[in-house]
Structure 1
Amino acid sequence: MSQNNTESAQSAPGKGIKARLKLPKGRRSRIILGMGITALLLALALPFYLHAISHESTDDAFVEAHVVSMSPRVAGHVARVLVEDNQLVKEGDLLAELDPRDFQVALEAARARLRSAQAAVTEAQAKASAAQNVLAQKEAGLSSQHAGLAQVQAEVAEVRAGYERDENDLDRMRKIVEAGAVSRQEFDHVKAQEAMTRAKLNSAKRQVDTHSAEIRQARATVAAAEDELRQAYAQVDIRTAELHEAEAEVEQAELNLSYTRITAPCAGHVTKKAVEPGTYVQVGQKLFSIVSPDVWVVANFKETQLADIASGQPVDIEVDAYPDVTFHGHVDSIQRGTGSRFTLLPPENATGNFIKVVQRIPVKIVLDASEADKNYVLAPGMSVMPSVDISEAGGAGSLRAEGTSAQAPAAR
């Protein structure tokens, strides 16, 4: 009896533990279900977590493109408008045309002034040629006068030699006559010969003086001819300058006439057309814009997100207009400056109270070549959400990489 009681007492604790471990069937099912749901949630959340730590994204991003504002370079009335809003045009297509009649008249007037200037240049050149011929004649006359003077001077020398001979003969004859060695007749003959040669010498001297005066006069006429030639050349220069001015006026008139035809500088779509035929437009007045088909994305990332973003990294792009489509591109470049730094009125943090605000830096994202062929309209200003895969190294365009390279020389 006591032995049975002892055995029952020893087996009682084991039965109590088993009773406590044995749970109700419904509660055990709930635990298993909870553990399964937890495992499923972890399995579903793990890809999102991995994506979150390997990607940087922002909703402050928009589509950008080249937008060319078209305006006239001359004022006038619009004769024709050949495009409509949202029309696709090619480079060089005629978009609008101003009334060209006034500009054609101005061109004809400029061409008439050009012909007049050409005739004036021809006339001035003819006068210069005539003045040059006159100068040549005057110089030839001066040379002839110099030659005549040289000849007269030679004659003077010859007559002077004869005179000196006859003068010496007269002196000798006078002494001989006083001695009574010759007759009075011979003395008179020698005396007459001396007087004749003296007269010839005086005449030759007067001819020298005459030729000298003529040479001085010829030199004066040559100088006057040279002045006339210089004046003629100056007139040629003036007429030539007027000719160049007339040529420039013709070119300007031709340009103004060509400006009446407004053509597309690039391919794209016409937007915001604000002109109709008959409208008078001023120089620089905006008529319409052309949006280029080449688009890209500008994403304004927080400065705290840029540490691992580098050029070349792949980007997945979601466009609000196409929620079921994912576009692909890559980081092209990072702007050197925050968006607030390039505003019209940049913040002046050196004065007043300063409140630190996380800045945003624009990042240019270029769509891949294959993405440009998709039949989706991507217009400037459309909202997008890019997601940059920072797990790939990309190029050397990240702020961290450039900062390291900039400090490398100082480390050496």
Structure 2
Amino acid sequence: MIKRYLITLLLLCSAGTVIFSYYQSYTNNPWTRDGQVSAHIVSITPRVTGQVINVYAEDNSQVKQGDLLFEIDPSIYKASYHKALATKRQAVALLAKAKNEEQRALNLEKRTPGAVPVLTLNNLNNAVETAVANVELAKANVEEAKLNLDYTKVYAPTNGYITNLNLRVGSQVVANSPVVALIDEDSFWVEGYFKETDLVGVNPQDTAYVTLMMHNDVQLKGEIKSIGYGIAKQDGSTGQALLPNVNPNFQWIRLAQRIPIKVKLDELPDNLQLRVGMTASIKIIK
């Protein structure tokens, strides 16, 4: 009987030791399964309105910075550019004419003082200044028309991955309205949400180990880049009749809030591709 009690006591002590060890490890090295892969999403937005005549990118394809993604019908913008060039040439000709008329009047005034009224000289000078301003305006219109013509070709602003591409030849795009999502391939990070009680002593540059659900046999190493400084308040938002919304809670339970932490990963295996939204587990080593 005593032997049985001793064995039971030893088993309880062993179990308590294991539990305490795990508790100490969890306390000293916070861990969460509430992690997710994130990256910067670049909204590809055309700068001009028109019909798409060519699409060079494919859905879920990788592109490099400067790659041509799609092209908008440039016909109307070519016409506007040529019109602006013609207006510029006309403005330059009018400037030359104004300068000639002013110079002629000045020469006549030098040969025969008083032959040209002062008001006429002032008007001729004003005409030259107006012509100069018209030339500058024409040059600006040419630059604007040239930019609009260049904007008919939309290029990738960064290296990344095209996703959810629904653009087709013949589609009508509108200026400043996003049409394609580009995931910046150089901006991936893992964001984890830790209980506030687990973040005591955790600082940026601490080491973190990440395990992806899709690749649970690979442990990735990284470091904490930042710890969130705030989260949205659940209570206090305005509800019906402009009264604050207050969620009921149990007085004997205080739930720890979740604080976001960003983890920048070190080198990745060649056969592992990060994808936005992937689930991850994160363990922080203090």
Change (3 A) 1:379 1:346: farther
Residue from 278, 281, 284 that aligns with 1:382:
278
TM alignment of 1:149-228, pairs within 5 A: 218=114, 221=115, 224=117, 226-228=118-120
Q: How far off its partner does 1:367 sit?
A: 0.8
Contact kept in structure 1, 2:27 and 2:198, CA below 8 Å: no
Provide the rounded CA distance (Å) in 1 between the counterparts of 2:197 and 2:18. 28
- Give the secondary structure class of the aligned counterpart of 2:59: coil
- Give the secondary structure class of the aligned counterpart of 1:247: helix
Instruction: Could you tell me which runs of 5 or more consecutive residues in structure 1 were left unpaired when the two chains were aligned.
Output: 1-22, 140-217, 391-412
Give 2:92's aligned residue.
118
AA at the equivalent of 1:305: D
Q: Does 1:88 align with 2:62?
A: yes
Residue from 125, 149, 157 that aligns with 1:233:
125
Give 1:366's aligned residue.
264
Higher share in strand: 2
Provide the rounded CA distance (Å) in 2 between the counterparts of 1:68 and 1:132. 60
Q: Does 1:58 align with 2:32?
A: yes
Residue from 189, 192, 195 that aligns with 1:302:
195
Contact kept in structure 1, 2:236 and 2:244, CA below 8 Å: no
Q: CA RMSD of the aligned region, Å?
A: 2.6
Contact kept in structure 2, 1:274 and 1:286, CA below 8 Å: no
Higher share in helix: 1
Q: Does 1:314 align with 2:207?
A: yes
TM alignment of 1:125-164, pairs within 5 A: 125-139=99-113
Give 2:183's aligned residue.
291
Please list the CA deviations of residues 335-355 of structure 1 after superposition, one character each: whole Å capped at 9, or x if unmatched. 2222x15x9x9747x956576
Q: Does 1:67 align with 2:34?
A: no
Provide the rounded CA distance (Å) in 1 between the counterparts of 2:39 and 2:70. 23
Please list the CA deviations of residues 119-168 of structure 1 after superposition, one character each: whole Å capped at 9, or x if unmatched. 011111111111111221232xxxxxxxxxxxxxxxxxxxxxxxxxxxxx
Instruction: Could you tell me which runs of 5 or more consecutive residues in structure 2 were left unpaired when the two chains were aligned.
Output: none
- Give the secondary structure class of the aligned counterpart of 1:327: strand
TM alignment of 1:100-115, pairs within 5 A: 100-115=74-89
AA at the equivalent of 2:227: I
Provide the rounded CA distance (Å) in 2 between the counterparts of 1:57 and 1:388. 6
AA at the equivalent of 2:108: V
Identity of aligned residues (%): 29
Provide the rounded CA distance (Å) in 1 between the counterparts of 2:189 and 2:36. 9
- Give the secondary structure class of the aligned counterpart of 1:59: strand
Contact kept in structure 2, 1:65 and 1:380, CA below 8 Å: yes
Contact kept in structure 1, 2:64 and 2:159, CA below 8 Å: yes
AA at the equivalent of 1:55: N
Change (3 A) 1:300 1:279: same
AA at the equivalent of 2:280: V
- Give the secondary structure class of the aligned counterpart of 2:176: coil
Count of aligned pairs: 277
Please list the CA deviations of residues 233-255 of structure 1 after superposition, one character each: whole Å capped at 9, or x if unmatched. 10111111111111111001100
Give 1:145's aligned residue.
none
Please list the CA deviations of residues 256-314 of structure 1 after superposition, one character each: whole Å capped at 9, or x if unmatched. 01001100000011001021011111112332111112311122223333221101111
